[in-house]
Chains A and B, each alone.
Chain A
Amino acid sequence: MSDIFDKDLLQRCISCGFCLPACPTYALTGDEASSPRGRITLMRALEPGELAADDPALVEQSSFCLGCRACEPVCPAGVRYGALLEQWRDHQWRGRRRPWPARLLMGIVARAWLLGLQGLARRHARTRPAPAGPSLLLGCVERGLYPGVSRAAVRLRPELAAPSRQGCCGALHAHNGDSAAGARLARTLGGRLPGTIVTTAGGCAAHLAEHLGRDRVREFGEYLAEQGHRPAGEVRVAGRRARVALQDSCHGRNALGVHRQPRQLIAAVADYVELPGAADCCGAAGTYALLRPHDSRRVLAPKLAAIEQADVDFVVAVNPGCLRQLRRGLRGSRVRAVHLAELLALAGGNGPYPPGRR
């Protein structure tokens, strides 16, 4: 008996199969092996050594899983699948077995000074540190790819401190087979940003909540709602109120239970349109879009169809990975993908226009 997994966590699953219809990869294949229950069966075969880590099915399924955790809210037995997946990848993707693009990214984002360099080229929000918080997490990817998001966030909530030297939360590490580094980075970041940490990335929010405690972390929309933020203005397109949809952040929704707040905020400044499957993963899934681009696009495809069908002007993301995924998918479309902070800033009349550009 090895101890790849926490025994209690692995025992929790009662194999009822209620997770199957919630799983995006099961929806693609109809194959039990690519369902949460099937993957837990594989983990249970790996634990005592019945199957080896280099078994092709284990290699494939540990990587095919998006890690969206849509299986968690529907689980009657309260299985913490996300935690099991981290433990699985810790074993499965150790050392050289980790896909090289993930290794490269993890090496970069673990160095706070390297992240800080992005600020030379990209104009993200930056303020002095606030000794008591609340602070805005700039993110390792977001500050470089979408610097406008943090600027919009700070414009909406000037009390948020955004010091440049804060580092990465470690979610990337935890999801790619190095949960120890993921936990360490989260704690370091918790030390650098005292008080409440507000984040515009659902994935970071869930990871930080896991390691710093739920009380210290607020997803951006959740924070606004808690502060009683009343969004100003209105988003208009072609002389009418804009039609706006939301793409949930998987971890924001499935791990933190945040889904009501962004919808209400959007509805305050535009006509909110609920997309069928708004809660389902868009296929970005952290490094997934990079590691498995083909499967990532297969997961995204029905969502793009639903967005076009819904005849909306904007689709709002609450996580930078989803934002990137949607923008790539919507190239050539009339629909624009924006972050919630950008949409609200736009409504207030001081956001960039057209939004959705860098």
Chain B
Amino acid sequence: MRLGATAVRALTKAVGEEHVRFTPGELAPYRRDATPLFTGHPDAVVFPADTGEVAAVLGVATEHGIPVVPRGAGSNLCAATVPSHGGIVLVLTRLNRILELSRDELLARVQPGVAVARLAETAAHAGLLYPPDPGSRGVATVGGTIATCAGGLRGLKYGVTRNYVLGLEAVLPTGETIRTGGRLWKDVAGYDLTRLLTGSEGTLAVITEATVALLPMPSHSRTGVAYFGSLAEAGQAVSAILAAGVVPATLEFLDRKCVAAVEAHARLGLRTDAGALLLFGDDGPIEVVAGNMVRIRTLCTEAGAWETTLAEDVAAADALLAARRCSLPALSRLGALTILEDATVPRPRLADMVARIDEIADRHGLHIATFGHAGDGNLHPTCVLDPGEHGAADRAHKAFAEIFAAALELGGTITGEHGVGAAKLPFLADRVGDAQLALLRRVKQAFDPAGILNPGKLGS
């Protein structure tokens, strides 16, 4: 769609001439986000300064029937911020202040454009922990991670973003500004709209402020690594650890292909003959952490671990965690097109799921390596391709469709933490069923009767 002259004037008036973009070159960088193979064509990009300007932009959009796609840093992996239907990309990076950090109340009030890492560092300065820890924490914004309910490496023990959102300020597409929840840990007045907006992927309202819960910073942490002959044995170790009542902060795995790629890239001295690598770690009071480390190592050994090692100091722990952190970089060097996917199965089915992924990859002649969060059954099968190879992307799409079907068959889901966006929408009905899908659409209708907020995504 193209914007009319009246709409252009109204948008310019809403945020000021300096903060609107209309030319093809200025719009081009907003065609896509971090999701491979998805692009759209925005007609305008606007950078509001505050809640009032967000409301003004939505007012213009409603009046002229223009789609609006809210965007933070555009680091999501489900094409949630791709302007599939054109329209306005509403960039919230100018709302970038931490408004309040309260040690007494263990909370922070932040604007949506603040990077998650900046919030976490500011909290750490005050001796507090903001636990949500997605891999993109350096770039991803608080608003974006709330809109996608981002997960991360600490999900098992600490939960995910939704567990830390106490309240939101949001502008509805109809122009009203609402405040849900607030500074209260207990508040059951009304439907839990805070939770509904968390993970709504910019389809219901535009988040303009968030109140988030913080925790006291744990005093100690330790990290270790265990090698197994097979992922099945690593999976048994994970089950045994949880059954023993230990809920560690870190429980990450790399499959054989991943270990090989990481070792070839970073030369960390990993054992490439192993079938799986399990990273474990915990934080808390020193004696609790020490006790948990002993129990985890014992349980790993009982499950058949070839060897377990504990990092002696912070630097050594960082070196171990580097193996997990550089999985994506290492894999992405194997081909120019890297598709990082996301599926979750019940914990005991982790090894079955990786076996299914391997079988599907082999059948389609694809290189798919898998790493992920063993503690919460969340896998990241990552496909590496040469984009020049004819039909490679199509084969990858077919393979992933089979992978999501397999996850559902094992009692899992099509996405654990990346979101639905435009990328997973075709699979959503398989996960939630027709009745729930119809309800989602009615919810969307209630918030956004004109259907202007992020069309082509959730609720469409």
Contacts and interface: CB of A to CB of B under 8 A. Distances in A.
Interface of A: 8, 11-12, 14-18, 20-21, 30-33, 35, 37-39, 41-42, 45, 50-51, 55-58, 61, 74, 76-78
Contacts of A30: 47, 91, 93-94, 96, 113
Contact of B25 (A8, A15, A37, A58): A58
B67 interface: no
Interface string B3-24: 0000000000000000001011
B96 A14 contact: no
A7 B377 CA distance: 38
Given A42-B25, A55-B25, 19 more contacts: A11-B387, A15-B35, A16-B136, A17-B75, A20-B75, A21-B117, A21-B138, A30-B94, A31-B29, A31-B93, A32-B29, A41-B29, A41-B31, A41-B32, A55-B24, A56-B23, A56-B25, A76-B326, A76-B329
16 contacts: A11-B337, A14-B34, A14-B337, A14-B338, A16-B75, A17-B136, A18-B75, A18-B138, A21-B138, A33-B21, A33-B28, A37-B29, A55-B25, A56-B23, A57-B23, A57-B28
B328 A76 contact: yes
B375 interface: no
Contact of A21 (B32, B36, B74, B139): B139
Interface in B235-285: none
B29 A38 contact: yes
Contacts of A35: 29
Indicate the member of B23, B35, B139, B333 with the most A CB atoms within 10 Å.
B139
A287 B329 CA distance: 33
B221 interface: no
Contacts of B96: 30
B138 A55 contact: no
A17 B328 CA distance: 13
A78 B25 CA distance: 26
Nearest to A33: B29
A16 B32 contact: no
Given A16-B34, A17-B136, A51-B24, A77 B73 contact: no
Given A11-B387, A16-B136, A77-B333, A32 B34 contact: no
Interface in B334-381: 336-338
Contacts of B94: 30
Contacts, number: 99
Contact of A41 (B24, B28, B73, B117): B28
A61 B26 CA distance: 10
A15 B26 contact: no
B30 interface: yes
Interface in B23-79: 23-26, 28-36, 47, 73-75
A76 B332 contact: yes
Contacts of B115: 21
A56 B26 CA distance: 8
A78 B329 contact: yes
Contacts of A74: 138
A20 B139 contact: yes
The 10 closest A-B pairs by CB, nearest first: A57-B25, A30-B93, A38-B29, A76-B329, A55-B25, A11-B336, A17-B75, A32-B29, A77-B332, A33-B29
Contacts of B329: 76-78
Contacts of A42: 25, 28-29
Contacts of B35: 15
A32 B26 CA distance: 9
A156 to B, nearest CB: 32
A85 to B, nearest CB: 16
Contacts of B24: 51, 55, 57
Contacts of A51: 24-25, 28
Nearest to B39: A41
B38 to A, nearest CB: 10
Interface of B: 21, 23-26, 28-36, 47, 73-75, 91, 93-94, 96, 113, 115, 117, 136, 138-139, 326, 328-329, 332-333, 336-338, 387
B321 to A, nearest CB: 15
Nearest to A40: B29
B26 A57 contact: yes
B23 A8 contact: no
A61 B139 CA distance: 20
Does more than half of chain B's interface fall in helix, strand or loop, or is it mixed? loop
Contacts of A14: 34, 36, 332, 337-338
A45 B138 contact: no
Contacts of A57: 23-26, 28
Contacts of B74: 17, 32
B76 to A, nearest CB: 9
B212 to A, nearest CB: 20
A11 B36 CA distance: 12
A17 B36 contact: no
Contacts of A11: 336-337, 387
B411 to A, nearest CB: 30
Contacts of A77: 329, 332-333, 338
A55 B29 contact: no
Nearest to A59: B25
B332 A18 contact: no
Contacts of B91: 30-32
B28 A78 contact: no
Given A76-B328, A77-B333, A77-B338, A17 B73 contact: yes
A144 to B, nearest CB: 39
B87 to A, nearest CB: 16
B139 A17 contact: yes
Nearest to A34: B29
A15 B28 contact: no
Nearest to B96: A30
A224 B74 CA distance: 44
B325 to A, nearest CB: 9
A42 B28 CA distance: 7
Contacts of A38: 29
Nearest to A41: B29
Contacts of B30: 32
B139 A33 contact: no
Contacts of A55: 23-25
Given A11-B387, A18-B139, A20-B139, A33 B47 contact: no
Given A32-B29, A57-B26, A78-B329, A15 B336 contact: no
Contacts of B73: 17, 20
Nearest to B137: A21
A56 B338 CA distance: 31
A248 B212 CA distance: 36
B282 to A, nearest CB: 27
Nearest to B93: A30
Contacts of B332: 14, 76-78
B136 A15 contact: no
Nearest to A39: B29
A58 B21 CA distance: 14
A281 B29 CA distance: 23
Contacts of A32: 29-30, 74, 91
A16 B36 CA distance: 9
Contacts of A16: 34, 75, 136, 328
Contacts of A50: 28
A183 B138 CA distance: 36
Contacts of B34: 14-17
